[in-house]
Every structure is written in structure tokens, then in C-alpha cells.
Amino acid sequence: MSAVNGSIGKRELRVGIVGAGIMGADHVQRISTRTAGATVASVVEPDRDRAMSVASTAPGAQPRVTLEDALEHDDLDAVIIASPGPFHEAAVLTALDARVAILCEKPLTPSSEGSRRLVETEMAADRARIQVGFMRRFDREYVALRQLVESRGAGELLLLHCAHRNPSTPPGYTESMLITDSVVHELDIVPWLAGSPVVSVEVLRTRRNRRAPEGVSEPQLVLLELANGVLAEVEISVNLGFGYQVTTEAVFEEGVAQIGRTAGLTLWSAGSARVAEHPGYVGRFVEAYDLEVQAWVNAARRGGIGGPSAWDGYLAALASEAAVEAQQSGRRVAVRSEAMPAFYG
């Protein structure tokens, strides 16, 4: 990074996108068509043909097979890590070593030990460089709900009902992925909404959806207990077929608030009413992803982060580990609580 005091001055942020799957390709489009102050300099993907095909959609982007190669040749200021979770730790360590800005998709790492190592490596340097891709914090409805909680406009928050529904599962799907791939979003957003950390988790199985892959029993209900006494109940269903849906209903002392209902054209015809549902998360959260990436780019150009930190990623990893243990044991499991280091204050 050609930086003075962390700031890159007037030039555009040169970003390497690591991972050319659904999210990586989506970020390439986002940065090259609708993010101000940034350009895609490389697309890093072990499958060379895929790297070439995704890089060809962004003018000037180089296809690379390794992050080291991109860092050596493409004068990167920043990276977005959008490879699968188990590859995040190594990529983030390489990027930290190169002192570039980092936006790492969720989960920061699948294990809390991995996230702890990243937090410690980052704290040994001069400043925070890792932002974690919990994009829901940029969704306008989640922001409005958080403001309602903080303002006590409907009294104190008592309870949250969350639904997280995916149309189908990819090959190789395992039961713990219900938590590590999906519910990890609620493990971040619920304490953020309620202003209180998760202290324990319990997981219940309901009647199994026969569309679920072998060895996976879902839907499941994940019950989160927060330090302030609020309970959040999360329904996770991942083979419902009809589309992608993420909703929250918040019960307050003096009212109820709902977010995430599909809005848009309703067609009344042939004796029924129809409204389209989002097919997937890329479309459902497009505005949140756009705002997230723009906030990250703006902050990275000044040498900082503009959203959830590695510490937030670590807390979600601790809660996620407890939830997987609860899922496997059938017991309620306590989430380890830790004081936030001043570095992240």
C-alpha cells in the first residue's frame, strides 16, 4: 500500500477480490460499476478459468491464482476476502502482513481460536485493518429497528422472533452449517439490535423437512438469551424452495415492529394476490452490501475501517461455537464473555 499515515490520498483504492464465487463475483460488479473511489485490480481464484472469466468483467483487473501473486504484482491497497470460511484465516494473515485494508466476508473464521489469532495479530500492529462482512448492519430496516430499540419509542425491547429461510442447500452441506453459514448473521445482528451480548444458546429440532440433505435435520429453532434478559428465537430453514426470506418481529413493552417483509408490486389476478419474493441473498441485501462496501472503501482510503471489526467477528465465532455445541449436545450452552480490548474501542 503506497500510504502516508495510512491514508492513500486522492487515488482510487486498488482492491483485490479473493474468491470468485457468488459473493466474490458480486463484489467485482459492485466495485467496478457502482462504488466510488475504488477499482478492481485483481481477481484471485485457484480455478484459473474462473479467475479469468470473472476478471474479464472488470476493466483492468488481473486474474491471479494466489493472493501472494496479486500482492506482488498489482499494487493492492485493499482486499475483499470472499472465499469459503475455512480459507479466511490464512488470507487475512497474508493481507495483514502486507498492511492492506481488509473486508472479510462472514464468518471471520469458523473457529474462535482462528478469530482470536487474527485479533491478536491485528492488535500487534498500529491500527485496525479488518472489517467483517456482517452486511445486515447496513440494511435500512435493521438500522431503523435498532434506533427504535435505542430510543425506547415503543418502550423496552422484550423479545425477538427471527426467521432465516434459504431456498436450498449446496452439495456437501452439513448440519453445523445451519449455524456457521447462516445463523452466524443473527449471532451478530441480535446483540447489535438489542445492545446486549448473547450469554447462552439452545437449539431445538422440529419435524424434519424431507427436502433436507441426508444427515441434516432442519428446520431448527435457535434460542438466544441476552445479558439484558431479552430472548431471541431464530427459525433457520434452508430448503423451503420458494425463495430467500429474512424477517424479524420485535416485541416491545408498548408495541410490535416488523422488518423484512417483501415490499413491491402485488398482483391481484385470477382469484389470488401475488407478490414476488427474493430468490437469494445477493438481491435481498443488495442495498446493504452497496452501503457496506462504500463505507469500507471510504474508511480504507483514510486508513481505517467503516463497519464491524475483527472483535465483532471474534464474538460471533464464540457464539457460533456455543451454538454448534448446543446443536450437537441438545443442551443449553453458555457463551464465553470477554471484555473488549481498548484497541477496538
Q: Please say which residue, 182 or 239, places its beta carbon nearer to ligand ISE.
A: 182
3-state secondary structure of 38: strand
| Site string (278-317) toward ligand ISE, x via CB under 6 A | ---x------------------------------------
* Nearest of 114, 235, 224 to residue 178 by alpha carbon: 235
Q: Please say which residue, 137 or 164, places its beta carbon nearer to ligand ISE.
A: 164
* Stretch in the footprint of ligand ISE (CB under 6 A) among 41-49, 181-189, 225-233, 298-306: 181-189
Q: How far is the CB of 320 from ligand ISE (least distance, A)?
A: 13
Cell of residue 172, nine digits:
456437501
Q: Please say which residue, 88 or 164, places its beta carbon nearer to ligand ISE.
A: 164
Q: How far is the CB of 182 from ligand ISE (least distance, A)?
A: 3
Does residue 181 bind ligand ISE (CB under 6 A)? yes
Please tell me the distance from the alpha carbon of residue 207 to that of residue 211, in angstroms, as a whole number.
12
* Stretch in the footprint of ligand ISE (CB under 6 A) among 12-20, 147-155, 177-185, 268-276: 177-185
Residue with cell 464474538: 315
Please tell me the distance from the alpha carbon of residue 188 to that of residue 307, in angstroms, as a whole number.
12
What number of chain residues touch ligand ISE (CB under 6 A)? 6
Q: In this chain, which of 62, 182, 245, 248 binds ligand ISE, going by CB under 6 A?
A: 182
Does residue 74 bind ligand ISE (CB under 6 A)? no
Q: Please say which residue, 26 or 202, places its beta carbon nearer to ligand ISE.
A: 26
Distance set, CA 227 to CA 4, 45, 208, 290 (Å): 42, 41, 31, 32
50: left (phi over 0), alpha (psi -120 to 50) or beta: alpha
Cell of residue 184, nine digits:
452466524
Degrees (nearest 5) of the Cα angle 12, 13, 14?
110
Q: In this chain, which of 27, 88, 146, 185 binds ligand ISE, going by CB under 6 A?
A: 185
Q: How far is the CB of 81 from ligand ISE (least distance, A)?
A: 14
* Nearest of 102, 76, 72, 73 to residue 89 by alpha carbon: 102
CB 223 within 8 A of CB 201: yes
Count of CB atoms within 10 A of residue 102's CB? Answer: 27
Q: How far is the CB of 238 from ligand ISE (least distance, A)?
A: 7
Q: How far is the CB of 166 from ligand ISE (least distance, A)?
A: 5
Q: How far is the CB of 246 from ligand ISE (least distance, A)?
A: 6
Please tell me the distance from the alpha carbon of residue 25 to that of residue 332, in angstroms, as a whole number.
39
Q: Please say which residue, 88 or 301, places its beta carbon nearer to ligand ISE.
A: 88
Q: In the beta sheet, which residues pair with residue 138?
A: none
Please tell me the distance from the alpha carbon of residue 338 to that of residue 192, in angstroms, as a whole number.
16
Q: Please say which residue, 281 or 314, places its beta carbon nearer to ligand ISE.
A: 281
Q: In the beta sheet, which residues pair with residue 42?
A: 16, 62
Q: In this chain, which of 109, 112, 115, 166 binds ligand ISE, going by CB under 6 A?
A: 166
Sequence-ordered list of residues with C-beta below 8 angstroms from that of 119, at least 6 positions apart, any chain: 310, 311, 314, 341
Residue type for position 25: A
Does residue 77 bind ligand ISE (CB under 6 A)? no
Q: Please say which residue, 39 or 209, places its beta carbon nearer to ligand ISE.
A: 209
Q: How far is the CB of 47 from ligand ISE (least distance, A)?
A: 19
Give the nearest residue (CB) to ligand ISE: 182
Chain positions contacting ligand ISE, by CB under 6 A: 164, 166, 181-182, 185, 281
